[in-house]
Amino acid sequence: MKAWLGCALALVLVSPARADAPQTRTLLRPAQVFDGVDPAPHPGWEVLVEGARIAAVGPHLAVPADAVVIELPGQTLLPGLIEGHSHLFLHPYNEVDWDDQVLHEPLALRTVRAAKAAEITLRAGFTTERDLGTEGAGYADVGLKKAIDSGITPGPRLLVATRAIVALGAYGPKGFEPGVPVPQGAEEASGTDGVVRAVRGQIAAGADVVKLYADYHYRAGEPSLPTFSQAEMDAAVAAAHDAGRTVAVHAVTAEGMRRAVAAGVDTIEHGDEGTAAVFKAMAAKHIAFCPTLAAAEAIARYRGWNGAEPAPASVAQSRAAFRLALAAGVPICMGGDVGVFAHGENMREMESMAAAGMTPAAVMIAATSGNAQAFHVADKLGAVKVGLYADLVALDGDPTRDITAVRKVRMVMKGGAVVR
């Protein structure tokens, strides 16, 4: 009888709720709750979940007669982690390089692999993911998002950028006979009318966030240079914001970052050459910075770095920019450019941020309420708060003291359903 009851309970918790199904109640009893906002966890707090949302938070909650009680002894309960910069349609470059993924891997293969990557990411405790471009896989991220939302395949809540937008001639793959049309890893646009058309077209196709490339290298071996003019950047951002979409900008150079800041974007990605002045301007406008430290480290390893210090110049530069951003008080986005390295290893960025000088508690806030605010979803996600979605993760240990605890996932709940 006990075994049968356990199986039935598991089915209730894992199965997606039907619209006509009675609302389930679950009481979670961890050792402590990190609420995503306060740097210090709250010992003895409990969380009551009703249906898909958090109904009550605090110590010694009343237990409804029909509630399922889940004991989480010695564990920290926290909001589902939010991955801020990923590419589900890419896999590590030491497996297949970027050009070959874009040009030679069939779309069906890339889509199935992306679905598997999404499941792995969810099971690692990342219940929301901002995917910043399919890199040649068209609008397949929109379809993947629909499949996840429909319960066809498990995965995080997705915020998708579809194709991303680059200046004409500034992206890749490259190196082919001039005049031969080559599939690109993003949508090319030129001129204010052209970039606005691209923004609106991607939104019409399902983009939640518009991604622009403020700079890139035109040819192999050349340094990154600004691509979109200030007028083009301004027009693209205005069109996206008019449609209620956030804007993420790839910018490595100080000038590319400066133009993005002037245009009023929402987040800047990478920022390796960022200066104190640029970061001060970002802080003044509350533009979040996504440093992608783990990607820089992964690429250096693919090129032969063994991880020993001193780090290669590229890694040292990204760490130095991150520290400048911290010193300037820039809001920090947690996002590792996952896909450059393995999905499910998203926590590598969190470990790199802590190693570069951010406190573990601040890293945890960045990966929860910080990302939720930067992505304009704080009314739904990012904190353990009454009324928000019950996206919750239980870990062994205390990640606000030891960031490696994020690797010790014991339970994952998404929308009130236990998925791990």
Structural domains of the chain, with CATH:
2-79+383-418 (2.30.40.10), 81-345 (3.20.20.140)
| pLDDT score of 212 more than 50 | yes
107 or 19, higher pLDDT: 107
| Residue 415 token pair | 């929308």
| pLDDT score of 19 more than 80 | no
Residue whose C-alpha is closest to residue 165's, from 88, 260, 254: 260
| pLDDT score of 302 more than 50 | yes
| pLDDT score of 27 more than 90 | yes
Rounded to 5°, the CA angle 413-416-418 comes to 40
- pLDDT band per the 50, 70, 90 thresholds, residue 10: very low
What was the pLDDT predicted at 5?
35
- CA dist 34 and 121 (Å) reads 21
pLDDT digits (tens, 9 = 90+) for 217-247: 998 889 999 999 999 999 999 999 999 999 9
| pLDDT score of 3 more than 80 | no
What was the pLDDT predicted at 91?
98
Average pLDDT over every residue of 91-120 = 97
How many other CB atoms are there within 10 angstroms of residue 231's CB atom? Answer: 13
pLDDT digits (tens, 9 = 90+) for 237-290: 999 999 999 999 999 999 999 999 999 999 999 999 999 999 999 999 999 999
- pLDDT band per the 50, 70, 90 thresholds, residue 4: very low
- Average pLDDT along the chain: 94
What was the pLDDT predicted at 221?
86
Residues with Cβ within 8 Å of residue 355, at least 6 apart in sequence: none
DSSP secondary structure code for residue 366 in this structure: I
| pLDDT score of 51 more than 60 | yes
pLDDT digits (tens, 9 = 90+) for 124-134: 999 999 999 99
What was the pLDDT predicted at 245?
98
| pLDDT score of 141 more than 50 | yes
> Whole-angstrom distance between the N-terminal and C-terminal Cα of the chain?
24
Angstrom CA distances, 275 to 230, 236, 325, 367, stand at 19, 24, 9, 24
Average pLDDT over every residue of 32-56 = 98
pLDDT digits (tens, 9 = 90+) for 342-378: 999 999 999 999 999 999 999 999 999 999 999 999 9
pLDDT digits (tens, 9 = 90+) for 182-195: 999 999 999 999 99
| pLDDT score of 339 more than 50 | yes
HSE of 247, CA atoms in CB hemisphere, 13 A: 27
| pLDDT score of 17 more than 60 | no
| pLDDT score of 152 more than 70 | yes
What are the phi and psi torsion angles at 187 (to 5°)? -85, 130
| pLDDT score of 202 more than 50 | yes
What was the pLDDT predicted at 220?
84
What was the pLDDT predicted at 1?
37
How much of the chain exceeds pLDDT 90, in percent? 92
- 3-class secondary structure, 368: helix
Helix axis angle for 230-242 and 254-263, nearest 10°, is: 40
Rounded to 5°, the CA angle 172-295-126 comes to 110
What was the pLDDT predicted at 7?
36
The H-or-E segment that residue 209 falls in is strand 209-213
Residue whose C-alpha is closest to residue 207's, from 189, 226, 187, 191: 187
Residue whose C-alpha is closest to residue 142's, from 159, 126, 128: 159
- CA dist 98 and 180 (Å) reads 20
| Residue 321 token pair | 């920019």
- CA dist 266 and 198 (Å) reads 18
Q: Which segment of 26-35, 168-177, 183-192 scores lowest on mean pLDDT?
A: 168-177
What are the phi and psi torsion angles at 57 (to 5°)? -140, 135
What was the pLDDT predicted at 23?
74
Alpha helices, DSSP H, located in 170-265: 191-205, 230-242, 254-263
